[in-house]
Chain A
Amino acid sequence: MGRFLRRRVLAVVPLLLLVTSMVFSLILLLPGDPAVALIGMEDASEEKLAAIRQRMGLDRPLIVQYASWLGRVAQGNLGVSLRTGQPVTEAIRERAPITLGLALAATAFGLLVGMPLAILAARRRGGTMDAAASGLAAFGVAVPNFWLGSMLVLVLALHLRWLPATGYVSPFDSASDALRHMLLPTLTLGASAVAEVTRQLRSSLGETLAADFVRTARAKGLAEGRVVAKHALRPALIPVVTVAGLTISRLVSNTVVVESIFALPGLGRLNLESVLNRDFPMLQGAVLVTVLAVIVVNLLSDLLYGLIDPRIRYG
Chain B
Amino acid sequence: MGETRIALRRFARRRMALVGAAFLALLIAGALAAPVVSPHDPLRQDLARMLSGPSPAHLLGTDDLGRDVLTRLLYGARLSLGAAGLAVAIATLAGVPIGLVAGYLGGRIDDALMRVIDALQAFPALILAMAIAAALGPGLFNVMVAVGVVYTPRFARLVRGQVLALREEPFVESARAAGASHARVLARHVLPNVMAPIVVQVSIGVAFALLAETALSFLGVGIKPPEPSWGTDVGRGYRFMRLAPWLVFMPGTAILLTALAFNLVGDGIRDAFDPRQSREG
Any A–B CB pair closer than 8 Å: yes
User: Which bucket holds chain A's interface residue count?
Assistant: 35 or more
A26–B115 CB distance below 8 A: no
- Contacts A29-B134, A210-B279 given: A150-B241 contact, CB under 8 Å? yes
Q: How far is the CB of A163 from chain B (nearest CB, A)?
A: 18
Q: Would you call B107 an interface residue if the criterion is a C-beta within 8 Å of the partner chain's C-beta atoms?
A: no
Residues of A within 8 Å of B218, CB to CB, are 144, 146, 257, 260
Q: How far is the CB of B267 from chain A (nearest CB, A)?
A: 6
User: Which bucket holds chain B's interface residue count?
Assistant: 35 or more
Q: How far is the CB of B136 from chain A (nearest CB, A)?
A: 9
Residues of A within 8 Å of B14, CB to CB, are 126, 131
- Contacts A142-B207, A144-B211 given: A15-B259 contact, CB under 8 Å? no
Q: Would you call A72 an interface residue if the criterion is a C-beta within 8 Å of the partner chain's C-beta atoms?
A: no
Q: How far is the CB of B232 from chain A (nearest CB, A)?
A: 13
A297 (CB) vs chain B CBs: closest residue: B122
**Cβ contact of B126, chosen from A18, A19, A254, cutoff 8 A:** A254
B241–A11 CB distance below 8 A: no
A138–B267 CB distance below 8 A: yes
A1-36 to B contact mask, C-beta < 8 Å, 1/0: 000000000010011001100100010011110000
Residues of B within 8 Å of A30, CB to CB, are 131, 134-135
Main secondary structure, interface of B, reads helix
User: Bound state CA distance, A210 and B279, in angstroms?
Assistant: 8
Residues of A within 8 Å of B32, CB to CB, are none
Residues of B within 8 Å of A125, CB to CB, are 277, 280-281
**In chain A between 242 and 291, which residues have their CB closer than 8 angstroms to a CB of chain B?**
249, 253-254, 256-257, 260, 268, 271-272, 275, 283, 287, 290-291
Q: Would you call B37 an interface residue if the criterion is a C-beta within 8 Å of the partner chain's C-beta atoms?
A: no
- Contacts A125-B280, A275-B134 given: A291-B123 contact, CB under 8 Å? yes
Q: How far is the CB of B164 from chain A (nearest CB, A)?
A: 10
Residues of A within 8 Å of B165, CB to CB, are none
A26 (CB) vs chain B CBs: closest residue: B131
Q: Would you call A71 an interface residue if the criterion is a C-beta within 8 Å of the partner chain's C-beta atoms?
A: no
Which of the segments A55-63, A104-112, A201-209, A304-312 contacts the partner chain? A201-209
- Contacts A144-B255, A253-B124 given: A29-B131 contact, CB under 8 Å? yes
Residues of B within 8 Å of A142, CB to CB, are 207, 211, 255-257, 259-260, 263
Q: Would you call A139 an interface residue if the criterion is a C-beta within 8 Å of the partner chain's C-beta atoms?
A: yes
Q: Would you call A154 an interface residue if the criterion is a C-beta within 8 Å of the partner chain's C-beta atoms?
A: yes
Main secondary structure, interface of A, reads helix
- Contacts A139-B260, A144-B255, A147-B252 given: A19-B122 contact, CB under 8 Å? yes
B208-224 to A contact mask, C-beta < 8 Å, 1/0: 00010011001100000
Q: Would you call B5 an interface residue if the criterion is a C-beta within 8 Å of the partner chain's C-beta atoms?
A: no
Q: Would you call B118 an interface residue if the criterion is a C-beta within 8 Å of the partner chain's C-beta atoms?
A: yes
Residues of A within 8 Å of B214, CB to CB, are 144, 146
B234–A11 CB distance below 8 A: no
Q: How far is the CB of A204 from chain B (nearest CB, A)?
A: 11
Residues of B within 8 Å of A209, CB to CB, are 281
**Cβ contact of B111, chosen from A11, A145, A254, cutoff 8 A:** A11
B122–A253 CB distance below 8 A: yes
User: Bound state CA distance, A271 and B277, in angstroms?
Assistant: 45
Q: How far is the CB of B55 from chain A (nearest CB, A)?
A: 25
Q: Would you call B116 an interface residue if the criterion is a C-beta within 8 Å of the partner chain's C-beta atoms?
A: yes
B264–A254 CB distance below 8 A: no
User: Bound state CA distance, A295 and B274, in angstroms?
Assistant: 32
Q: How far is the CB of B5 from chain A (nearest CB, A)?
A: 19
Q: Would you call B94 an interface residue if the criterion is a C-beta within 8 Å of the partner chain's C-beta atoms?
A: no
A175-217 to B contact mask, C-beta < 8 Å, 1/0: 0000000000000000000000001000100110110000100
Q: How far is the CB of A86 from chain B (nearest CB, A)?
A: 20
A249–B219 CB distance below 8 A: no
Q: How far is the CB of B11 from chain A (nearest CB, A)?
A: 12
Q: Would you call B8 an interface residue if the criterion is a C-beta within 8 Å of the partner chain's C-beta atoms?
A: no
- Contacts A257-B215, A260-B219 given: A131-B16 contact, CB under 8 Å? yes
* Closest 4 pairs between A and B when the two form their complex, measured CB to CB: A142-B259, A253-B124, A138-B263, A294-B122
Would you list 21 pairs from A and B whose C-beta atoms are within 8 A, ordered by A residue?
A: A18-B115, A29-B135, A30-B134, A31-B134, A126-B14, A141-B204, A141-B207, A141-B259, A144-B218, A146-B214, A146-B218, A147-B238, A199-B267, A203-B270, A257-B215, A272-B126, A272-B130, A287-B123, A287-B124, A290-B122, A290-B124
If A138-B259, A150-B238, A268-B124 are given as contacts, then 4 extra A-B residue pairs at C-beta distance below 8 Å, sorted by A number, are A26-B131, A144-B214, A275-B134, A291-B119
